[in-house]
Structures are given as structure tokens and as C-alpha cells.
A and B are shown apart, each in its own frame.
Chain A
């Protein structure tokens, strides 16, 4: 067995103990203290999906392209059908947003939402302007990012996480993220 020699092995053991002691004294942490801090994705993460009903032409492409059949078209009082999303099935792939020919579906970066009942997960078209309300655990949530400097990780604070707001009225020009 061509393994480590005794001296080599003892050196390796002392090496790891030294490494452990180094980090015990001076830790190098990556942790984001979750309810107090939240990672910042610069608005680029795919999250909750809003809908401007006034732009929707009821073409149903969103419902058909959905890989998980999460979108159902609901008949509204005006006789037209609008999409509603079941967040129990949605995988946040945003295919529906990308397929929408009239930009009626609107992407947000709201990811942290939870529901008490399964029925609450089903969003009907009239609910799709108001983002889900997340019960607040702490008064203010700080957004943080990991930056790298000289081969070290630095956690930077980049502002506060805001309350999800209802969607603004539909803009007349196409909305492009980033």
C-alpha cells in the first residue's frame, strides 16, 4: 500500500488542526441571516407573476405553454377569459411571460411567499395585480450581496427590502427587464 508516510501523515494532521484553529479564531462566514437579511438579485430573479388584464387578449398561449399546467383561464364578467396561476404548481420558469405577445404578464422578483391553505395558492385574474402579502417576521429586511475582494468574500448591504407593491397601471410601451 503506497500510502502516506508516517511523517507526512502527522504533518497533515497538524496541518488540518492548524487550519481548524485558524478558522475557529477568525471565521470566514458566508451566512446570510435570513429573516433579517435577504440576498439581492438585482431584480433579475424570476418570481411572482402579475397580470395587466387590460392588455390581455385572451390568446391563451400562456396557459398552453405552461410546462406544469399551472395556468387556468377564468371566465370573467365581461365575457373574456384571463389567466390565473396556481402557485402550488408554478415552477417560476416565466415561460408564460416570455410567450405573452402583448406583454400582459409582468415579472416580479417576489420569491418569499407562503400560504396557509392550498386554496390560497390559486390566484384568479382579479388577484393578479396585488402581490402576495408575506407575514413580516422582522421590522426591516436588509438586502445583501456577496462581493469578492482579494480572494475573500465580503457581504455588502445594498439597501432595504421593500414591501411588495400593487402593480402600476399598464405602460403603453413594452416592458423589458434588465
Chain B
């Protein structure tokens, strides 16, 4: 089967040679975001209808105009002025961006939302859903036409507590990925079971200068050192 590892990351390289990365948001989370928006809109429309009901035929006319505006421009305005997030998207921590990961602007926002009519076909957004599920970048038809993407905008995770170990300098050359792995090993000491930590550390027992029974502590020390704690030697 495919040799390129499967993932949902999306990468763009800027002209300056900087790689930008974002996680694409798939159908399930987008359906949930849409459902939240739909509920919000329905509540607003119900309230409007009840209020305008007392204004007779004028009220009904006004209601129709307002409901048209709400249906078509609610997402556009929120996406342009609220950083690509309607309230539903904000609740699900996703956002619309252009496909070069710049903030969405007027014309793509208009195109992707006016083309919801195409995505709606034949009923209940089935066209858009199938397009999203089968496409490589989770884009519905409106997204394809507008050149927009929906990505995750999750808040950064809280810092994890570190084990209490003296920092140790690594005595072998570690590539960047290796350093990240050692740091992850240190940071996730609370998540990984003790046996599993031992198992992981023993993989490196031939490389580490200590015995395999001290390997976990030694690796955690290296991780703390890599995170910047130099212990007593900082004064040097």
C-alpha cells in the first residue's frame, strides 16, 4: 500500500523558505461546527419571527429579508471579521483560511459560502460531505472553488510537569528528531507506565553509559538538560 505515511498535516512553503504547517479539519468536526451554527441561527430566527409576528405583513416581509441575510451572510461576515471562525467553528476550534494559510479575505469567503448551494445538492449537503470525505484536503466544493481550507486552531497545550532528576549532558550526537524524542520521553513520564518507560529506555541501553536499571533516570536527565536546565554548571 502507499509508502507515503498517512497524515492530516498540510504544509506550505513561503517564498522566504519557511515551512508553515497546519492540521486539516475533517468532516466530523466540521459537521459538528455546522450543527452549532445551525442551532444558533435557528434560535435567532425564531426570536425574530416571534417579535416580527406582531408587525403583521410588514413584519413577515422584514422577517424574510432578515432570514435571507442571516442565511447567506452570517458565515461570510464571521469568517472575514472574526478570523475565519463562525461561533460554531470557534467552539470546535477550527478556522477557515486561504490555501496558502493566510487569513481568509472577502472574495474567497463569499465564493465558498455562496457555493453552499452546490454543496447542498441533492439534499442535506450530501455533495459537500462526499467531496470532503473523499478529497485529499477535506475541501467541499465551495472550498475547492474559493481556494480555502479549514484547519485546526487549537490553543497550545499546558506545560507538563517534569520528573525531578539532575540534568545530564548527552554524550552522543543526537539529531533534532532524537532530541525531540528524548524530551517527549521526559515530559510524558506521567503518561507512560513505569514498565513501558523501562522498556523504552532499554532500547538505548547499549548507547547509554549507565546500566539498564538507571537508563530511565539517565534519559530523563538528558531530556531536562536539553530543555535548558544545566543544574549547578550554569554558573560557568
User: Is B a genuine binding partner of A?
Assistant: no
Interface residues of B (CB under 8 A from A): none
